[in-house]
Amino acid sequence: MSNLGKKLLKQGALLVPMAAFLSGCGLDASDDSSITEAQSPGTVEPTAQVAGAAIKGVIQQGVVTANRLLEDKSGYYLPDRLAAKPVRTADDGSYELRLRGKADGWALVELRADGSTRMVCDVVPSCDQVGGGQVEFGQTLELSSDFVLRGAGDLVTETVHLTPLTHLAVTLAERSDEGLSPAALAGAYQTVEAWFGLSVGALSLVPPDLTRLDELEAVSADALQVAITNAAFLALVNDNDQWQSISDVLNNMSAQVVASGRLDITGDGTSLALADIVAASAAQASELQLVTESSIIDQKLVIVEYRNVQRFKTIADVYSGSDDGDTSVADTTEPPTTEPAPEPAIPADAALLSWTAPLTRENGVSLSMGEIAGFEVVYGKSADALDQSIAIGDASVDELLVDDLSEGTWYFAMRTLDTDGNRSSLSEMVSKQI
């Protein structure tokens, strides 16, 4: 990477997860006496590990258990009656438990709150708590006893994170004629991601602790967007007499999904709406910029705010086939297509590039994410001389904010690098007038 490329990265060039393309060559928690912080193997019986994090804010000392999802004779999937021994989440929200049997199939994971459970307030500037009073950003608050989060995942390949969004996805999957089948769950996860304008697979990302962003070495805008969307559920409680707790908000939205398989778009005055969450997410992304010192994180928060503003503008189309939530990946053999994103919330001296690409090489051979080493964006003030570059050593990037551009027309293109050192041809060139 050139010195100029490094300089631009320091000035706030933004890296975000993506799919890439290359040319080339019944969950019951018992009392504390049966809850453990970790599971000791101590047996030759095969077991499957289930691990993840419970994040809304970070949920500490939540009671987590899991059940395998088994198919009955009619093809309907239900949780196994034999549950894993409950464990408590750690101070960072993480948990780890084990299920008897081999590491195959899917599992349903559930967290419940009790008197020992606390949640970190991740809403700026503060969170309203049950019974009155406020808790400042970064401090902990109690959760009501009816607070529940669920998530599900493949025991072979996935960790299972527990958030309000995964809870809605499990609730949606339960409406399937097959019950909580792998297909129903995978489809429900993608549907919820599309509702909120999240990238495919975003609910499998580890949501960062929004109260400690300046301590993070690296975090993607996709992961930030997931965390901020989850935070928005609690933000709706603030200054709203209708909703007394995060449980009230989550229960209202879950009831909508149970009844219709959807969330109200703009609401009816008595129920929460998808637009409420998206608007609160944009507001929280903006508020977080005021309390974050890292210029890199700040740039990514700008992107998250921009995404939610754009999602709000297109919220009426969320359930149509042409809405912006359609995150399917096209099957093409062309190089990655780059395009300048629309202007709102982007600094005047910057260009926001975004790209999508299929998981195939130019010769049509499939390409796995594990084969991708990173990307290179090249740009300049002449279409014939793209003499500046930014290297991206992350295979999960689909947006880049290039700032500190002087007046004039700037031209951009990109290429993909694989782990063997092969490079794709340059994508189609795009330009922006500064």
Residue 342 has pLDDT above 90, yes or no: no
Sequence-separated (6 or more) residues with CB below 8 Å from residue 378: 386, 388, 389, 412, 413, 414, 415, 426
Assigned token pair, 371: 């084969």
Residue 30, pLDDT score: 42
Who has greater pLDDT, 300 or 360? Answer: 300
What is the per-residue pLDDT for 357? 58
Q: Determine contact, residues 200/192, Cβ cutoff 8 Å.
A: no
- In angstroms, what CA-CA distances link 68 with 82, 98, 181, 322? 8, 11, 11, 36
Q: Give the whole-angstrom CA distance, residue 359 versus residue 155.
A: 24
Task: Give the pLDDT band (50/70/90) at residue 109.
Answer: very high
CA 159 to chain centre: 13
Distance CA 220, CA 213 (A): 11
Position 340 pLDDT exceeds 50: no
Percentage with pLDDT > 70 across the chain: 82
Which tens digits make up the pLDDT trace of 131-155?
A: 778 899 999 999 988 999 999 999 9
- Residue identified by tokens 């096209």 is 330
pLDDT (mean) for 14-26: 35
**Residue 248 to residue 144: CA distance in whole angstroms:** 10
pTM: 0.68
> Given a cut of 60, is residue 101 above it in pLDDT?
yes
Average pLDDT over residues 377-381: 93
pLDDT of residue 423: 80
- Tens-place pLDDT, residues 80-98: 988 889 999 999 999 999 9
